[in-house]
Each structure stands twice: as C-alpha cells, then as structure tokens.
Amino acid sequence: MKATIKPFAIVGAVLAMSVASTGMAQERSGEEIYNSNCSACHMTGAAGAPKMDASDDWQSRLDARGREGLYKNAINGYKAMPPMGTCSDCSDAEMKATVDYMLDEAL
C-alpha cells in the first residue's frame, strides 16, 4: 500500500506547487488601475487632484518633484489622497506603472 501512495503523494505535491505558483496575482497595468481606482478623482479634480487633461498641472508637479517624488506621493499618499490612492491591494510597482500611465497620458 505504501508503494502505491508514495508516487501519488509526489505527483500531488508537484501539482499543488504548480497551481500555487501560477495562481499568484498577475500585476495589473497602470491603465487598469487608473480606470478602476484613480479616475474618479483625476477626471474631475476632486479634492485638488490634478486632472488627467491638465498637462500644465502635471508638468509643474513633475518639474518640482521629479518622477520619483510622484511615485513616493502615490505610494505614501499626498494631501487628500490616501496611501496607494484608493487601491489598497496595489503593489508599489503597480502604483509606479499607474503614475507612468497618467504622466504619459497627460503630457
């Protein structure tokens, strides 16, 4: 009986590991995150958020803080914007991709 169970246990363990590794969350694009979490404020300018179509506002922020500073603001929060904006499950890399997306669209 032990000889029969052992091969199945090994196969089961390998399958479980492959499912776990492929079941990891896929990183979302900046556009996806913007559309689902950021657009409510950045389309309307709510609470002083720079609007997507206000290229002068974005350029002045980029000039003053640099891209790294804007990443830091998005990740840690800035004024009325909470840390990670409204995307509590975003990674730092996803937030940076979102900032890049917004700058590319605005400038």
57 and 51 in contact (C-beta within 8 Å)? yes
pLDDT of amino acid 24: 58
- Identify the residue whose tokens are 């559309």: 35
63 burial via Cβ count (<10 Å: 0-12, 13-18, 19+): exposed
Per residue in 9-67, pLDDT (tens digit) is 454 444 444 434 445 568 999 999 999 999 999 999 999 999 999 999 999 999 999 99
Cα separation of 101 and 2, whole Å? 56
- Residue 61 has a CB neighbour count (10 Å cut-off) of 17
Residues in the chain: 107
